Structure 1
Amino acid sequence: MKSDMLLAAAEALPASRADTPAAAGPVLVGYGAVEELARFATDSRWAVHVPGHPLEVRRAIQHAVRRGDRAYVHVSGASNAEPRGAGEGFELVREGLDGVVAAVGATLDPVLRATAGLDLTVLYTATVRPFDEVGLRTAVLAADHADVVLVEPGEPGLSARYVARTLVHVPHRLLSLGGADALDEAALGRAVRDFLR
């Protein structure tokens, strides 16, 4: 079975032609390559996108090609039911006061189900680099508790240092979740509830 996310990437990538000059920056697509995601996420020369829906895949690739960005687009087999994140940075999905959950890419739907009934702010992004420091700081300062749960499809802690740098002057607690647990609604729910106690 072919992934809708992978098909979206294939459709969005421009066809290379010998008579067309190369773009200013390459756009690379990785399918389920967690090691590559970690490598590009540590290289400040690259924009890194982790779309959570086929429409977001197309949008990220087309935007990067148009701007001539050096971009890495991480595509996985999982996707959210609806597209989000029309812009770069964090999008406010739900407001709450007990803390902030930042969901990346296809982790959003499991995060929303796992945190239903909890008084938490939920943020979403399909772009992890550059990291949206302003969006995260704004959400954390608006909450009663500076407790942050970071949920990413890659290895846990992929963006933890960016959260720490963003909140360096804000006493906070951070829980980083990733890998298989990032898409497991039950595991997410348990981890978030244990962290908030």
Structure 2
Amino acid sequence: MDSDMLLAVAETCPEPRRDGPAAKGTVLVGYGAVEELTRYAAAPGWTVHVPGHPVEVRRAIMGALHNGEQAYVHVSAESNADPRTARGGFEIVREGLAGVVLAVGATLDPVLRVTAGLDLAVLYASTVRPFDEIGLRTAVLAADHADVILVEPGLPGTSAREVAKTLVHVPHRLLALGGAEAWDEGGVGRAVRDFLR
């Protein structure tokens, strides 16, 4: 278990103030509760952050408070080796033409390992609501095949509806992996290779 993720939460969340103005935003933090992540991802009006590194945890909490967001921040026991720069949109981590993998939060490092050698574009998301429709659509239209692999710490298919809405006019195939299976590198690798055949 990566205690650095929880430490980042503890260091970043402000103490309640009895005097002076309160923070502008509302931030709820969930630790490892995939059902809770799935619930907030479906709730209208919530910004949902799924940081994959302690630096991203701090950035998500401070940004939500500063911007006055009603935000849910999902923290898992896992962490990517390095923080990413994605802020609200999806970050292109690796280019590829055979399809697109959208890795959410701390699933990025395992996804990069199991897709090494495959001609897949890999996108990284630390914020899943609002969903970066432009980022996903651009990556899918740049690929030779409109095959999308979604790997997220929430329940399988948590963001599948968002993918379908984004690509409503683009014939595509979707493989949605989530929950415990998102952390099983062998299983993810097999599922990706079987899906691409």
Compute the TM-score of the two structures, normalised by the length of structure 1: 0.97
Question: Counterpart of 1:79 in structure 2: which amino acid?
Answer: S
On the 8 A contact 2:104/2:125 being kept in 1, the answer is yes
Question: Counterpart of 1:160 in structure 2: which amino acid?
Answer: A
- 1:3-46 deviation per Cα after TM superposition (whole angstroms, max 9, x unaligned): 11011011111111111333333111011111111111011211
2:124 alignment partner, SS class: strand
1:82-101 → structure 2 map (5 Å cutoff): 82-101=82-101
Report the counterpart of residue 60 of structure 2 in structure 1: 60
1:150 alignment partner, SS class: strand
For structure 1, list consecutive stretches of 5 or more residues without a partner in the other structure: none
Percent same amino acid among aligned pairs? 75
- 1:18 equivalent to 2:37? Answer no
Deviation at 1:2, TM superposition (A): 6.7
- 1:98-138 deviation per Cα after TM superposition (whole angstroms, max 9, x unaligned): 00000000000000000000000000010000000000000
2:194 alignment partner, SS class: helix
Question: Counterpart of 1:47 in structure 2: which amino acid?
Answer: T
Report the counterpart of residue 173 of structure 2 in structure 1: 173
1:146-157 → structure 2 map (5 Å cutoff): 146-157=146-157
Question: Counterpart of 2:117 in structure 1: which amino acid?
Answer: G
More displaced, 33-42 or 129-138? 33-42
1:102 alignment partner, SS class: strand
Report the counterpart of residue 115 of structure 2 in structure 1: 115
On the 8 A contact 1:85/1:125 being kept in 2, the answer is no
On the 8 A contact 1:8/1:55 being kept in 2, the answer is yes
Cα distance change on mapping 1:123 and 1:2 into 2, 3 Å: closer
On the 8 A contact 2:86/2:125 being kept in 1, the answer is no
On the 8 A contact 1:137/1:166 being kept in 2, the answer is yes
> What is the root-mean-square deviation in Å for CA atoms of aligned residues?
1.1
- 1:34-81 deviation per Cα after TM superposition (whole angstroms, max 9, x unaligned): 111111101121100000000000000000011111100000110000
On the 8 A contact 2:48/2:71 being kept in 1, the answer is yes
On the 8 A contact 1:27/1:72 being kept in 2, the answer is yes
2:74 alignment partner, SS class: strand
- 1:136-182 deviation per Cα after TM superposition (whole angstroms, max 9, x unaligned): 00000000000000000010000000000000000000000011111
Question: Counterpart of 1:83 in structure 2: which amino acid?
Answer: P
- 1:194 equivalent to 2:191? Answer no
For structure 2, list consecutive stretches of 5 or more residues without a partner in the other structure: none
